[in-house]
Amino acid sequence: MERSAADKSTLLTYILTLVFIGLFGLWIKGMDIASGREAAGLIIFSLGFVMLSAYVLARIVEWVHVPLISGYILAGIIAGPYVSGFLTDDMVGRLRLIDDLALGFIALMAGGELRLALISRRARSIVLNIVLITLLVTGLVSVSILGLGQFFDVTREFDFQRLAIFSVLAGLICVTLSPASAIAVIKECRARGPFTGMILAVTIALDVLIITLFTVGVSLSKILVTGGSIFQLTEISGLIFEILAALLVGVIVGQTICFYMARVRQDLVMFLLFMTFAVARLSLGFNEWMEVQYNISLHLEPLLICMSAGFYIQNFTRFGGELIEGLEKAALPVYVLFFSIAGASLDFDSLMICWPLAVLLVGVRVAGLMGGSWLAGIASNDPAVFNRNAWMTYVPQAGVSIGLAQIAARQFPEIGIHLNTLVLGIIAINQIAGPVTFKLALSNVGESGRAKTGQG
Amino acid sequence: MKIILAFLLVIFLVFVGYHLSFRRLKVPLFARRLYLTGMEFLFIGLALGPQFANILDKETSDGLAPLSALVLGWIGMLFGFQFEIASLRRFPGIYFIAGFLESFITLVIVFTGVYLMLPFAFNVSGGARAAAALVVAAAAACTAQTGLALIPASRTAASHAIIKFLRYLSSIDGLVSMLALVPVYLFFLRFGHRADSAFGLGFGYNILIGAVIFVSLITLYSLFLSQRREENELALIIIGMVIFISGFSWVVNFSPLLSNFFMGICLVNLTSDKEKIFNTLVSIEKPVYLMLLIFLGSIWQLDQLSAIAAAGVYFLLRFTGKTTGGFVAALVARGREGWHPGLGWGLMGQGGLPLAILYDFHLGSGLADITGPVVGIILIAIIFSDLLSPGLTGYVLKKEA
């Protein structure tokens, strides 16, 4: 497609802006940081630097039709510890506090985008996608590791029992998707329609389902390791209780937001930011407190709470439209910060260690996604264009998979560290490639640009 | 965890307080004098600070430093936006001279008094003494319009001209105060306590470097604003730039308040998007201001009765400065047939800018042993001034009517 002179001038302006920001960054990075105030200044500066450079870089890569969130991630990678080193590991760790704010915010938006009417219309397709993707991805990944594990450094030393546990857990983790990436690309493309609704529902439901399945998998693996025979029903019932509790808390949060919208109305964006951050931090704090005080390991999942809140407001109150409108106003800064810091957090050390197995599993996972979504589409009589493209929207992977790998690392220290490394490596690949395939799929299906508003 | 809880608590208080103070609650006129300026948040900050609840202790406050820098940068930028040359030109040029003189006289009187008093009150000398005195004088020179805002409309209707003049003087006061801070940050604090020996080459070098940085930042802003932006993009750019400049200022030991102030002046005069930018800035103006009050309240030291006496001296110095300055301003603006000689009494309210100046200095000077008690003293005086201000302004208006 031929570009106009104005477009070229815009691109040039963006490149020049990026150069300017980069020069400031280089200058500041070269300075001696002596006092605490200067150190605090460097963190603040870095935050502004990442925010502005990610925004500009995303506009530049958009020129070649790459999604904006890939640009944000790319900016984070470039600024992060593995490329320019502008953001050190310590700084990235401090800036990750923003994750709590952003994840809750994005989850609220994801929940708010789920419309019950659309889900019920496509219920069969959604359920089949979830079941078949889970079975095929878990199965294919597990079999691949079991069959080929002896050829890779990461798994070569394992005996069969450990390899079996490793393969099942890795298989389950590979099923996880990224609701945050999904909602960001959907908003960017202004996508709306049956395909968009279906993939969003599958993405969110899969993450909830896989947390449950993973807990079952861990329990079964423990039996395998310890030689016991009693299936830990208490753990499963506990998990179900936690999920129900999170959904209930989500409804209460949703009702609080509705109360605010009905009574106060003003400054809704600020209120939503405050609420999501408060939910994220307080639920984590509550979990810690319960564990320390009563030895009760309750994990009120902040993401689930926020999704449930969004879903409740959208489908059971009259404030759904207002909520989405309010969220969209603050979405751009939230996306820019969240994805750029996610990019800076990508663990390329892990990828270097296990890249052959990671690359293989990324390929196998894609095969599982293709097979699962295609079979589900055929069985549900979905349009062929949906069936051909659905897998591309399931490629992005983040958040939950890291959490699951860390749980596995705590439960099975002898394999956990390897699993963690492998998962981080896989995420590094999927998070870079995923948004690109996602955007392509929306475009192929023809649902891009159908929504009235969107986020840049 | 404590930092996060403190952050949540501060944001919650600000949010609730903002709606109660500025939107909802109807309180009696006397209470409004304190209440509507948001000064009660100083006491909330005091209650949260190390002397009482200890939620905002030093470590937590250090952890919230990025938020402090953002707050200061935001206030600076917002204040800079007041100085649109086209708007200022609507007033006679002599008003500008009058305003400048009024403020400068206050600045000189308070600076002299504080400079002489400082060695007796605190063990401070040399550059730090001059810097502290200049900052206190700059804070004293500021004037707020809250006094005018709290006077019933029926009493202001007959005094339209003088009210316009008082408002104009209030704006110019802030400009003089900010200009007075430039040497403090460009010279004294960058050389720390070696200020006595460093004047000369270093000063010129700093001005040069400062100018280069400033021009570069303006260029960066211009590049961002050279394209037409949607509202959310503009918000991202403004937030990003305020954070960027505030962080940058701290790294080079400059003031985020000042750097964003000058940036604001340039933006309001150079960009066509000024309305949109201003709307973005003003959308969270009050919460930002209340956050500043809470942070300031948390460093308020109320453990010495002598602070009240010192606050009294400061108040008297400022009162003298404003009265003299107001007299001169009235004379310059209108000649002998001008306004009431006690015009300066209408300028007693201090408002938010001096608070930002003090907090900025407290965070940036590295002289916390001195700035802590000094901030406490001035806070008492500011509260006293803001309580008296509507009455004194009302008196001036009555005499004029």
Q: Given CB atoms, is B11 within the 8 Å cutoff of chain A?
A: yes
Residues in chain B closer than 8 A to A95 (CB atoms): none
pLDDT at B148: 66
Q: How far apart are CA B56 and CA B10, in angstroms?
A: 9
pLDDT beyond 60 at A306:
yes
Burial call B110-137: b when 16+ CB within 10 Å, e when fewer: bbebbbebbeebbebeebbbbbbbbbbb
Q: What is the pLDDT of residues A221-247, one digit of tens each?
A: 777 776 655 556 666 777 778 788 888
* Minimal-distance CA residue of chain B relative to A277: B8
| Fold adopted by B66-400 | Na+/H+ antiporter like fold (1.20.1530)
pLDDT at A227: 62
DSSP state of B100: H
pLDDT beyond 60 at B378:
yes
Cβ under 8 Å to B: A residues 20-49: 20-21, 23-24, 28, 31, 33, 35-38, 40-49
pLDDT beyond 60 at B33:
no
Q: What is the pLDDT of residues B84-132, one digit of tens each?
A: 998 888 888 899 999 999 999 999 999 999 999 888 888 777 888 889 9
Is A131 or A269 the better-scoring residue by pLDDT?
A131
pLDDT at A2: 61
Domain definitions of chain B by residue range = 66-400
Phi, psi of B152 (to 5 degrees): -55, 145
What is the torsional sign of CA B48, B53, B59, B63? Answer: negative
pLDDT beyond 70 at A67:
yes
Q: How many CB atoms lie within 10 A of CB A123?
A: 13
Residues in chain A closer than 8 A to B283 (CB atoms): 267
Q: Given CB atoms, is B66 within the 8 Å cutoff of chain A?
A: yes
pLDDT at A269: 85
pLDDT beyond 70 at B16:
yes
Contact A264 B364 (CB under 8 A): no
pLDDT at B211: 85
**How many helical (H) and strand (E) elements, i.e. helices and strands, does chain A have?**
19, 0
For B205, the 3-state DSSP assignment is helix
Instruction: Indicate the average pLDDT of chain A.
Output: 86
Testing the interface with A: which of B244, B253, B279 to mutate, by most A Cβ within 10 A?
A: B244
Cβ under 8 Å to A: B residues 18-37: 18-19, 23
Is A5 or A81 the better-scoring residue by pLDDT?
A81
pLDDT beyond 60 at B27:
no
User: A212: which 2 tokens?
Assistant: 């449950």
Is A222 or B370 the better-scoring residue by pLDDT?
B370
Mapped to the 3 state alphabet, what secondary structure does A194-237 carry? HHHHHHHHHHHHHHHHHHHHHHHHHHHHHHHHHCCCCCCHHHHH
Is B8 or B388 the better-scoring residue by pLDDT?
B388
Q: How far apart are CA B138 and CA B178, in angstroms?
A: 7
Q: Count Cα neighbours of B202 within 13 Å in the Cβ-side half-sphere.
A: 15
Q: How far apart are CA B198 and CA B202, in angstroms?
A: 6
Q: Is B225 exposed, middle or buried (0-12, 13-18, 19+ CB in 10 A)?
A: buried
B100-104, B156-160, B304-308, range with the lowest pLDDT = B156-160
pLDDT beyond 70 at A56:
yes
Q: How far apart are CA A315 and CA A307, in angstroms?
A: 12
Is residue A349 a contact partner of residue A83, using CB atoms and an 8 Å limit? no
Query: A269 vs chain B: nearest CA distance in angstroms?
Result: 11
DSSP state of A152: S
pLDDT beyond 50 at B196:
no
Please report which confidence band the pLDDT of residue A283 belongs to, taking 50, 70 and 90 as the band edges: confident
User: B81: which 2 tokens?
Assistant: 């936006």
pLDDT beyond 70 at B354:
yes
Per DSSP, helices labelled H in A80-96 are: 89-95
Please report which confidence band the pLDDT of residue B266 belongs to, taking 50, 70 and 90 as the band edges: very high
A145-154, A299-308, A369-378, B208-217, range with the lowest pLDDT = A299-308
pLDDT at B193: 43
Q: What is the pLDDT of residues B60-74, one digit of tens each?
A: 887 788 788 889 999
Cβ under 8 Å to B: A residues 287-306: 288
Q: Count A/B contacts: CB-CB distance under 8 Å.
A: 142
pTM score: 0.85
pLDDT at A295: 67
Which residue is listed with tokens 């477009």?
A7
pLDDT (mean) for A211-217: 76
Q: In A307-428, at which residue ranges do the beta strands (DSSP E only) sit? A: none
A112-126, A147-161, A236-250, A405-419, range with the lowest pLDDT = A405-419
Contact A52 B244 (CB under 8 A): yes
Distances (CA, A) of A50 to A112, A226, A346: 28, 48, 15
Phi, psi of B128 (to 5 degrees): -65, -40
Is residue A315 a contact partner of residue A115, using CB atoms and an 8 Å limit? yes
Q: How far apart are CA A307 and CA A61, in angstroms?
A: 30
pLDDT (mean) for A342-367: 89
Q: Quick one: what percent of chain A has pLDDT higher than 70?
A: 93
Phi, psi of B194 (to 5 degrees): -90, 20
pLDDT (mean) for B25-31: 49
